[in-house]
Amino acid sequence: MRKKVIAGNWKMNKVLAEANQFIDDVKDKIPNNDNVEAIVCAPYVHLPSLVDKAKGTNVKVSAQNMHFEDNGAFTGEVSPVMLKDIGVTHVVLGHSERREYFAETDETVNKKVHAAFNHDLTPIVCVGETLEQREANETKALVGDQVKKALEGLSEAQVAKTIIAYEPIWAIGTGKTASSEDANEVCAHVREVVKEVTSEEIAEQVVIQYGGSVKPANVDELLAQSDIDGALVGGASLESESFLQLVEAGAK
């Protein structure tokens, strides 16, 4: 059985004291079992402190982005070498907000996925369609294409370790969740695409999350679906209590 991965993406929220308090609040309450992995995706400036606080706990710490180069003249950027150096384990790549506001493309996402593996970081690769694309019945083609481009050139072992987050853009921060059946249909399609580019064995290992207005009230139904292996959660991950409820749902 695939484990469930619950990742809280704080986006550009919390000052350091709030971030630290969150880890203090959850660290002894995260279920200690193999069914679930809990990850906090925090702003860069909080990462060293959170990695330190999370040591010896079941909370993993992720960045929300990174550059694909190891170092160089890229003012304002943070590299995979730097993230690895401070003990970060995961990195979110290709979030729709990065694609929309910061010119992230399928090509840069692919470079970043390779860079993540070169430095032993686990990528959480985000894919998803706009409302217009969904209404035009383009969801599967678009998402499949994003997945293929993100995984291009990876070894099968690397694909197996990649976490893919399906996030319909129209469901992010809107309170609108895809129905669990619709979300599962796209996640199952993502798995089919992974199978096409690798094998059934690898596709069965890949963790595929759903993201978009996930909250304690809808998480059980989503996680009960055959191809949804976790959640990438924005708003509902900001409060420790609600994050814990989501992780507990994953541990069932």
Ligand X SMILES: O=C[C@H](O)COP(=O)(O)O
Which residues participate in the annotated binding site for substrate? 9-11, 173, 213, 234-235
Catalytic residue flag (residue 167): yes
For ligand X, the closer CB: 167 or 229: 167
Q: Number of residues interacting with ligand X: please give it, by CB under 6 A.
A: 14
Q: Is 167 in the site for ligand X (CB under 6 A)?
A: yes
Residue selected from 88, 194, 214, 246 as contacting ligand X according to rule CB under 6 A = 214
| Residue 213 found at the interface with ligand X (CB under 6 A) | yes
**133-152: contacts with ligand X (CB under 6 A):** none
- Select the span of 52-60, 71-79, 220-228, 229-237 touching ligand X (CB under 6 A): 229-237
Nearest to 249 by CA among 204, 215, 209, 226: 215
Residue 26 binds to ligand X (criterion: CB under 6 A): no
Query: Quick check: 128 binds ligand X (CB under 6 A)?
Result: no
- Considering only 94, 168, 234, 250, the residue that binds ligand X (CB under 6 A) is 234
Catalytic residue chosen out of the listed positions 95, 104, 129, 189: 95
Any contact of residue 173 with ligand X (CB under 6 A)? yes
Which amino acids are annotated catalytic?
Answer: 95, 167
Residues lying near ligand X in the complex (CB under 6 A) are found at 9, 95, 167, 172-173, 211-214, 232-236
